[in-house]
Structure 1
Amino acid sequence: MYVERASRLAGAVVWSRGASGSTVGAVLPDGCMDLLWNEGRLLVAGPDTHAYAAESTTGRWAGVRFYPGTGPTFLGVPAHELRDLRVGLADLWPASEVRRLTARVAAAVDPVTALEQVALDRAAAVEPPDPLLREVVTALDAGRSIAATADRLGLSARQLHRRSLTAFGYGPKTLARVLRLQRALALARSGLPFAETATRSGFADQAHLAREMRALAGAPLGELLARS
């Protein structure tokens, strides 16, 4: 069973999935990066540009999903270097430190809380994320254009693109598409008809919504809702 809750780390989400031995459904793009633990392994999930087909697993998983744009600050690597990838934390941090943290999480009564503490300790040891990045997410998620977003933040389009690659793993155009996808999924899951979902989430029409669902999520909206 998949369970999630708000983290003590601002804007983050802590989640867990019990051992089931079944194939997990595709992970959809959300603009986030995750710190993961799976049966003695610490991993990092980079930002996705398309649906990620999760592996079959019999082990327990825990994760901390960082607020969009904040993962690179906590993990110490530009987001675009991990785009569409899952890598071992030891590929990013000193191996001795990762072995110590892995042992700490594995020995904990609740690995989920222990993993969250790893993220909290890391956040306390580094400079906080640039608050401008949250404003980028807020503006694009509200449906503002890239030009209007850049102007609002006092950036040129090129500066916004460069910062977006580092923070989110892709440019603001792709980030806006991903955020719009997530808005549509939330509205559709609330029971809103697909045509109204398309209009309210910022698509030109229902056909546009259908095309973006296939491009980013790899399946029609109805199929995604059925999986949920």
Structure 2
Amino acid sequence: MYREQPADLPGAVLWTRAVPSTVQPARVLPDGCLDLIWSSRAGLLVAGPDTVAQVAHSAPGERYVGLRLPPGVGPAVFGVPACDLRDQRVPLAALWPRALVSEIADRVAAGAAGAVLTSVAAGRLRRAGGPDPMATALVGWLAAGEPVGVVAARVGLGARHLHRRCQALFGYGPKTLARILRMGGALDLARSGVPLAEVAARSGYADQAHLTREVRDLAGVPPTALLRAG
């Protein structure tokens, strides 16, 4: 009942979810991203960056269309620092003028919700002058396991300045972002069939027990439970 595909916006993902009549809560893992979401029940929403997994409770029959923006891009689209939205789901009308949100809702109701959300986000991004160019580099280095001190030196920032920059771009500091990115990469490996012990070694964890502790801390359940759930 959940599907995703690349969006017509570099690095973004379009996803849809239809909630069955027998509702199963959905576990949403932290990923450093902000999402622009349309819900058939709640309308237009913004999902901020999560520090831990959120268990989403939906109504039977509820439908969603979402645009997941790459890490660091959301602040340019929504016009607020990512840390202001951390661990929150807020109505889009709390961030943008109500008349604009109403116009977008009418366009979504007319059909092709995914295309509308993508077009709106792309337009906002253009008017903002594009995403912060540092975001992609930071994500790449931290996902590769570079120490925070090395990353700070590469971008010419002190540790405190880098922390503030990451808070604004991603919703949390570089160490938390690195943990979240590493977990995401590890779970991708595990879902491809790589044994967990090998996943731990290839992803920079001390051992499988370390991987399990980190996933449980961030996702609320061990990796085996996530893999069983698909």
Residue 6 of structure 1: CA displacement?
Answer: 1.1
Residue 127 of structure 1: CA displacement?
Answer: 1.4
Output the amino acid matched with 1:35: L
TM-score, normalized by length of structure 2?
A: 0.95
Equivalent residue, structure 2, for 1:199? 201
Structure 1 gap segments, 5+ residues each: none
Matched, 1:73 2:79: no
Question: RMSD between aligned alpha carbons?
Answer: 1.1
TM-score, normalized by length of structure 1?
A: 0.96
Equivalent residue, structure 1, for 2:24? 23
Residue 31 of structure 1: CA displacement?
Answer: 0.7
Matched, 1:46 2:48: yes
Equivalent residue, structure 2, for 1:87? 90
Q: Deviations over 1:26-67 (max 9, x none)?
A: 100011010000116000000000010111232210111010
Residue 154 of structure 1: CA displacement?
Answer: 1.4
Contact map agreement 1:23 1:54 (CA 8 A) in 2: no
CA–CA distance in structure 1, aligned partners of residues 132 and 53 of structure 2: 28
Q: Secondary structure at the match of 1:3?
A: strand
Residue 125 of structure 1: CA displacement?
Answer: 2.2
Q: Deviations over 1:171-227 (max 9, x none)?
A: 000000000110110011011111111111111111111111110000011110011
Contact map agreement 2:49 2:87 (CA 8 A) in 1: yes
Q: Deviations over 1:82-139 (max 9, x none)?
A: 100000000011111111111111112x222222222122222221111111100000
Contact map agreement 1:74 1:123 (CA 8 A) in 2: yes
Output the amino acid matched with 2:55: A
Q: Secondary structure at the match of 1:26?
A: strand
Q: Secondary structure at the match of 1:61?
A: strand
Residue 152 of structure 1: CA displacement?
Answer: 1.2
Residue 18 of structure 1: CA displacement?
Answer: 2.3
Contact map agreement 2:76 2:124 (CA 8 A) in 1: no
Bigger mean CA deviation after superposition, 127-136 or 167-176:
127-136
CA–CA distance in structure 1, aligned partners of residues 20 and 122 of structure 2: 29
Alignment: residue pair count = 227
Task: Report matched runs for 1:110-125 at 5 Å.
Answer: 110-125=112-127
Matched, 1:104 2:107: yes
Task: Report matched runs for 1:9-20 at 5 Å.
Answer: 9-20=9-20
CA–CA distance in structure 2, aligned partners of residues 113 and 3 of structure 1: 15
Matched, 1:35 2:36: yes
CA–CA distance in structure 2, aligned partners of residues 20 and 145 of structure 1: 44
CA–CA distance in structure 2, aligned partners of residues 91 and 68 of structure 1: 21
